[in-house]
Amino acid sequence: TFHRFTLSLQQKVSTIILTLTSGCFFLLAFVVVLNKMKVNILANRWFSLFLFCVGLILVSDSIVYELNDNKDYSILIDLFNIPVFVVGPLIYLCVSYFVSPTRKLKFKDYAWHFLIPTLFLFLIAFSYLVPNQEDLKVDTDTVNLINLIAIFILIILPLLIYWFLSY
């Protein structure tokens, strides 16, 4: 019983720390948006969105940690993963506007950066549209291969692309 008490105390302390840290990110995002000097407004907006998404990621970690075994909230848990995919494009656009403040981008120039989060949102929607997922007879090797391909397309490929674009 002592081990169980210690573990739950660790979980609660971790949740409190994550929540306080996310609050700091939300406050910093708010302060960056309300920059009185009005210098490099677009870069500050992208940076504020980046900070807001980091705050959402921290909040979602604490919430997902609490709701991990609850099947009723599975769509909520999946939706909390979207900011993870948005952080990369946001930091790229933020840095590009800080480096070149006079840069003029149209919607089509930066919309492709948000293709991966949009694809992830459609994959989430599609997974909830498939009825009786437990009744599907799919080999575990096939599921593992699909998961590896999805991880490569959604995480590793964008990471490599942004790594290449940073040079």
pLDDT tens across 109-137, in order? 778 888 878 887 887 777 777 665 565 56
Residue type, 89: P
In which element (H, E) is residue 12 found?
helix 2-33
What are the counts of helices (DSSP H) followed by strands (DSSP E) for the chain? 8, 0
What's the first-to-final CA gap in the chain, in angstroms? 54
pLDDT recorded at residue 1: 45
Confidence class for position 49, pLDDT limits 50, 70, 90: very high
* pTM reported for the whole predicted model: 0.76
Residue range 27-53: mean pLDDT, rounded: 91
Residue, of 49 and 113, whose pLDDT is higher: 49
The alpha-carbon radius of gyration of the chain (Å, integer) is 19
Percentage of the chain with pLDDT > 70?
Answer: 82
Residue range 65-78: mean pLDDT, rounded: 69
In which element (H, E) is residue 38 found?
none
With b for 16 or more beta-carbon neighbours within 10 A and e for fewer, the 28-55 pattern comes to bbeebeeeeeeeeebbbbbbbbbbbbbb
Percentage of the chain with pLDDT > 90?
Answer: 16
pLDDT at position 75 over 90: no
Q: Is residue 119 within 8 Å of residue 154, measured between CB atoms? A: yes
